[in-house]
C-alpha cells in the first residue's frame, strides 16, 4: 500500500488527493487509516489536520474549486440531497476529504 501511495503522491500535487495521501503515509498502517476513515469519518477527529473549524475552513478555502466539483458530482448522483444548515464549510471539507480518501482506497485495492 505504501508504495502505491508514494506513486500516487508523485502524480498529485496541490490537490485534496495529495493532502489525503500525506496524512495516510504519516500513519503506521495506511490501510488501517483508510478503513478507519471509511468507518468513522473525519468527525472522529482521526485526521489531525481536520479537527478545528479553522482547519476545515482553511482547507475549504484552499481547495474550493475541487470541493465544488465534488459537491456537484455527488449531488448529480443523488449521493447528497440536503446540505446542512450548520457550518457548511466544515461539512464540505470533511465530505470532500472522505470522498477522495474512499476513491484512493478503492483505486489501490483494485490494482
Residue 79, pLDDT > 90, answer no
Alpha-carbon distance of 24 to 30, in angstroms, equals: 5
| Domain map (residue ranges) of the chain | 2-110
Question: How many percent of the chain have pLDDT more than 70?
Answer: 100
What mean pLDDT is reported for the chain? 93
Question: What does the pLDDT read at residue 88?
Answer: 93
How many CB atoms within 10 Å of residue 101? 24
Residue 85, pLDDT > 80, answer no
DSSP one-letter string for 38-82: HHH-GGGT-SGGGSSHHHHHHHHHHTHHHHHHHHHHHHHTTS---
Question: Which cell is 80 given?
Answer: 447528497
Residue 56, pLDDT > 90, answer yes
The CA distances from residue 73 to 31, 92, 94, 110, in Å, are 26, 13, 16, 22
Distance of CA 17 to the CA centre of its chain: 7
pLDDT band at 47 (very low <50, low <70, confident <90, very high): very high
Position of cell 476545515? 56
Residue 40, pLDDT > 80, answer yes
Amino acid at each position: 500500500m505504501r508504495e502505491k501511495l508514494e506513486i500516487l503522491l508523485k502524480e498529485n500535487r496541490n490537490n485534496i488527493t495529495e493532502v489525503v495521501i500525506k496524512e495516510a503515509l504519516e500513519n503506521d498502517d495506511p490501510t488501517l487509516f483508510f478503513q478507519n476513515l471509511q468507518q468513522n469519518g473525519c468527525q472522529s477527529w482521526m485526521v489531525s489536520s481536520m479537527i478545528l473549524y479553522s482547519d476545515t475552513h482553511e482547507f475549504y478555502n484552499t481547495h474550493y474549486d475541487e470541493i465544488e466539483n465534488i459537491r456537484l458530482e455527488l449531488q448529480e448522483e443523488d449521493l447528497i440531497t440536503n446540505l446542512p444548515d450548520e457550518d457548511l464549510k466544515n461539512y464540505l471539507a470533511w465530505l470532500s476529504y472522505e470522498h477522495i480518501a474512499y476513491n484512493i482506497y478503492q483505486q489501490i485495492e483494485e490494482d
